[in-house]
Structure 1
Amino acid sequence: MAHTPLHLQAEVNQLRTELAVLQAHQEQSKLIYVGSYLLERLAQLGVTSMFGVPGDFNLGFLDLVEDHPSMEWIGNCNELNASYAADGYARVNERSIGVLTTTFGVGELSAVNGIAGAFSEHVPILHIVGVPNTMQLKNKPMLHHTLGDGRFDAYTKAAEQFTVSQATLMNKTTAAYEIDRVLNDCITTRRPVYLTLPTDICYEKIPSDRLKVHLTSIPPENDEDVETFVLDEIVKLVETAGQDVVILVDACAGRHHVKAELKDLLTKTHFPVYAAPMGKSVVSESYDRYGGIYVGSISHPDIKEKVESAKLVISVGSLRSDFNTGNFTYSVPARKTIELHSDHIMVLHAKFPDIGMKRLLPKLTARLQPYKEEAKLLEVPLYKIVVPQEDNNLISHAWFWPRVGQFFRPKDVIVAETGTSSFGILDVPLPDDAVFLSQVLWGSIGWTVGSTLGAALAARDLGLGRTILFIGDGSIQLTVQELSSMVRVGVKPIIFVLNNSGYTIERYLHGKERKYNDISNWKWTSLLNVLGGEGASESYTVHTKDDLSKLLEDPTFAKAEKIQLVEVMMDKFDAPRGLKMQTELSGKTNKYVTVESTV
């Protein structure tokens, strides 16, 4: 594992665990299976659902999962969908992790895309792989699910590219330590890890006394002298800026557990706050000092002006990808930016490694609180969206997104698919305690279907509201099988399928009239019945604004007491404003040049 500051922090947390184990009162401890030890660790971390697909090398472990009192096995239709579901579960249940179990080779490789997306977007997932017994791993016979050339480590080598830590449990003596090590790495770095569980090791018995010491992701204290210097420098810059400061929040503020500290900073200082697309819902969008989404040149003009004209920007947990920055059109230079991250701080051009924002934020709040009265005078654009009055009854994107925004309630979990949906919903204010999920950086089409399953299960555990998915007809065809899993486990999302006859975002990027951006038109309102939902689901098609408004105002529909699918008929070439602007910028970057030969 590379020795970045977060990885070093994970090692420190593992050493803490080992020290606590040594200090714990040693007595004759109960013996448990290695597989049971792993499950107890996951239960301590708050995991209640495990996703995956059964295979012959993990079936013995799945017996233990099924018999565990607090763990529910959520069998998926395929491993890719299972990895997406683990991702969605971890995003909603922020204090826990997602867990995925597959079988050797064929199963684990099918899940790689979902694991890579979680790595990209800082989502903690434990990938458990059931593998052949230790004797077979050593002797390397030509087993099924292998490459036939004796390279039993090929899959682990692949996993090394998409996980921050890996462990192969080859003996019972070190099994508990290795399990704790990868879990420490997972919860500290907030990224995926990989664990292989041989069939014979799963049922080896080991002492359970380590379970008395719980794992923790609490970061160590910052170096006091360096932290004080950083705080002094930030305060000087705030004073130099004449308190003309804005705060810009992004995804890692949520991923690395600083929402509470961030909320305290905002309420005690009153500096205006904006969010990047990946940071949507990290800050309450009904907060009176919240100004909206900043996404470079794609931003609403009022938001763009306020952020870019500020003399100082304090950025919290930023991930500056192309779609998160309006194709790198942020006009906020480093010379007026402070960046707070989980494992380092940037003050203008100076980097301070090993100074984490979780420990620093409360102290920064105390230092900046005296500027509250001046900060109150800074104007914040009114963040609201009005349903436009259009002269026809067709459902346009300009009308659709503000209209469904009126349907949202506090604590709803709202999932938006890559492309049309993620751009359309960007400027729609969400109610208090709503949770928003999208995959802006990795952008795997179809991710939201599995993710909605995981998100709905986590929402049910946490007592959140409805789970609502927005997805295009092209995207849902990639992963549609997981609707059957939703029916089987009893979650009841509302699924809006935007039927615009193909891949809209691809049309705007390139090939607007090309056949490769077209799809087959399915009978969407029959889907849930085909996939097991007959009698436990409802499906609708809406063609007009009046149709949709009537449905949204129906109290029975709004209660979401069964799984519901709404086919929304839209024009093939209509798209949200933000998507059109982003694809225009991306199109220039990705411009295809036809080279004509000359004779």
Structure 2
Amino acid sequence: MTSKDDITVGGYLLERLAQLGVQSVFGVPGDFNLGFLDLVDDHPKLEWIGNCNELNASYAADGYARVKPKSVGALITTFGVGELSAVNGIAGAFSEHIPVVHIVGVPSTAQQKSKPMLHHTLGDGRYDAYYTAAQQFAVSWAFLNDTHTAAAEIDRVITACITRARPVYLMLPTDIAYERIPKGSLETGPLVRQPPEVDTAIEDFVIDEIVKLVKEAGSSVAILADSCAIRHHCEDELLELIKETGYPVYCAPMGKTVVPEDYERYGGIYIGSITPPEVKQAVESTKLILSVGLLNSDFNTGGFTYRIEPTSTVQLHSDHTKIQYAMFPDVGMKHLLPKLTSALRDLKSSAVSVAVPPFKATIPSPNDDPLHPIISQAYFWPRMAAFFKPKDVIVAETGTSSFGVLGVPFPKDSIFVSQILWGSIGYTVGATLGAALGARERGLGRTILFVGDGSLQLTVQELSTMMKCGLAPIVFVLNNSGYTIERYLHGKTRAYNDIVNWKWTQLLEVLGPDAKPAPKSYTVNNKTELEELLDDPDFAKAERMQLVEVMMDKFDAPEALQRTAELSTKANKYAQ
């Protein structure tokens, strides 16, 4: 017997997402999720976006979650063919600590038991094959095959997603989606993070040990912040620590914008051996580094070339703290940072005596730019820094874009989206869709994408979805005739790093012929043409979809990319 207080399993799941602030739901329809999509379509707070393919949908869910703090990306695919197409994007979200709820519509519970040779199966009766595979890229998962446990399982899995900031996986059979269950705890409010219990005695001991090291280092203390401070919602606590102590602060590449880049004690990006000399010297000569949310990946550390000894480091993470060589499990930074700030506040006078190199962008003069008047990488990125505005969402593709944009400051309240650890080329196109939707929902500024011509060819279809949704990102396509980052890694003149040169300025007309207002496209061949475009107020307003083809030299690349590629090539040890 059901009552008016009952709700469908699918409805319960969607209400949990809506309570977390989800408004846009990504995915592709398939016969095993169509009934569930009716519930999405009818939900008053959710909008079904509908992507061109599942890979792009997973990228979009990732980008959405990055721009919507304390929310999640929601992705719906179908059994087998759909969910496997999304795996690359889900793996990237796992790698980079992005909370995505992946919901897969699967055959009915009766079919799961009888195991007929259905389409989308492997033809061998293994209905759990994809479920098993998905567990490699999720922190929690559930097969919702029992109405008595469905609500509790949904709550358990989504709580893991928001607590650990990583993807989770839910299998929803066609018949279960419409089974009715009690609303239960829905009416008590949204799910909340459940970090591990903190032993206050251990936490107090950790604070005391850090304070001892800080006092021993005197004024020679700096903070190195990274992406996990963003992913685990510690920006406010970190900023309070920074301002109350006055310590110089630097960021790793993945952590760009976790600290406002106009803050007077911010010194820029530290990338090991490829860091600008003044920043490298400032960081590596410091006696004690307070590291907050650092991910020590190769591209994030300049090919593992950090010159910071463990004895000079305190590492604060979401679920543990490491002081030199000592590990303290369950002492996470969210709870620890405010206490640390209180303990160090009185030491501010010595901290502010240490000078911090200013982080600024300098456009090279024509005499210093060998490619003048061609648009060079050395010119392009500092010039773009002058174009950025507060609250812009800036998306940079793996390769020349992600390396080029690191060296220039962003304005206040801007958001940086890039995939430096996972590094799947083409990621940013789908991610821009999700990021632009998240920005619109939050009332942020423009969404600006920088993507290479090679990367764009992988996922270009999602430009169509952006126009369908009435979004107006500015897309800068860096046309340098192929895969420039790959050229520097190996095979600089090899044919496999070349691509077909598309008619880029005709893309928006093909992909969005009915878009209103009509999109615009431009080609800029030199610095003068780029300057005129960037200075055009109508262009800068970003009130319509705009694509800018930027003509660049085939072998030009940011210095940071070139030096990182050298380190990577040595590590790969290709036979000569």
TM over 0.5: yes
The 5 A counterparts of 1:106-505 are 106-213=81-188, 214-220=190-196, 222-391=198-367, 392-505=372-485
CA-to-aligned-CA distance 1:430-486 (integer Å, 9 cap, x gap): 000000011000000000000000000000001100000000000000000000000
Q: 2:263 & 2:77 partners in 1: Cα distance? A: 43
Q: Using the alignment, how far apart are the partners of 1:329 and 1:69 within structure 2?
A: 51
Q: What SS is found at the alignment partner of 2:422?
A: coil
The equivalent of 1:589 in structure 2 is: 571
Residues 154-187 of structure 1: per-residue CA shift (max 9 Å, x gap): 0001101111111011121111011111101100
State the aligned residue count: 568
Q: Determine if contact 2:429/2:459 at 8 Å carries over to the other structure.
A: yes
Partner of 1:19: none
Question: Structure 2: which 5+ runs fail to align?
Answer: none
Residue-by-residue CA offset, 1:208-258 (whole Å, 9 max, x unaligned):
132023311153552111011100000000010013100000010000010
Aligned to 1:37: 12
Alpha-carbon distance in structure 1 between the residues aligned to 2:527 and 2:224 = 35
| Superposed displacement of residue 393, structure 1 | 1.4
Read off the aligned partner of 2:227 and give its amino acid letter: A
Partners of 1:446 and 1:457 in 2: CA distance = 18
Rounded Cα–Cα distance in structure 2 between residues aligned with 1:400 and 1:229: 49
In the alignment, what sits opposite 1:24? none
* Cα distance in 2, alignment partners of residues 59 and 179 from structure 1: 20
Q: Does the 8 Å contact 2:7/2:182 carry over to 1?
A: yes
User: Deviation per CA, 1:83-117, whole angstroms, max 9, x where unpaired?
Assistant: 00000000110110001000000000000000000
Q: CA deviation at 1:591?
A: 2.0
8 Å CA contact 2:159, 2:194 repeated in 1:
no
Aligned amino acid, residue 266 of structure 2:
Y
- Aligned twin of 1:59: 34
Conserved? CA contact 1:130–1:198, under 8 Å: yes
Deviation at 1:29, TM superposition (A): 6.6
Structure 2: which amino acid aligns with 1:264?
E
The aligned amino acid for 2:230 is G
Counterpart amino acid of 1:548? L
Percent of aligned pairs sharing the same letter: 66
SS at structure 1 position matched to 2:406 = coil
1:565 aligns with 2:554: no
Per the alignment, residue 92 of structure 1 pairs with: 67
Q: In the alignment, residue 501 of structure 1 is paired with which amino acid?
A: S
1:171 & 1:394 partners in 2: Cα distance? 64
Q: Quick one: which amino acid aligns to residue 343 of structure 1?
A: D
2 CA distance for matches of 1:466 and 1:533?
22
TM-score normalized by structure 2? 0.98
Give, in whole Å, the separation in 1 of the partners of 2:83 and 2:315.
37
Q: Could you tell me how far apart the structure 1 residues matched to 2:195 and 2:111 are?
A: 40
One-letter amino acid matched to 2:564? Q
Q: Aligned letter for 1:490?
A: G
Tell me how far apart the structure 2 counterparts of residues 586 and 390 of structure 1 sit (CA, whole Å). 32
Q: CA deviation at 1:120?
A: 0.3
In 2, Cα distance between equivalents of 1:330 and 1:466: 35
Cα separation, 2, equivalents of 1:274 and 1:390: 31
**Given residue 114 of structure 2, which amino acid in structure 1 is its aligned partner?**
N
Aligned equivalents of 1:171, 1:588: Cα separation in 2: 53
Q: What code does the residue aligned with 1:349 have?
A: Y
- Give the C-alpha shift of residue 197 in structure 1: 0.6
CA distance in 2, matches of 1:292, 1:399: 19
The whole-number CA distance in structure 2 between the counterparts of 1:46 and 1:29 is 25
The secondary structure found in structure 2 opposite 1:116 is helix
- TM-score, L = length of structure 1: 0.94
Question: Given that residues 291 and 380 in structure 1 are in contact (C-alpha distance below 8 angstroms), is that contact kept between their aligned partners in structure 2?
Answer: yes
Return the alpha-carbon distance in structure 1 between the equivalents of residues 44 and 509 of structure 2: 32
Does the 8 Å CA contact 2:60/2:434 hold for their aligned counterparts?
Answer: yes
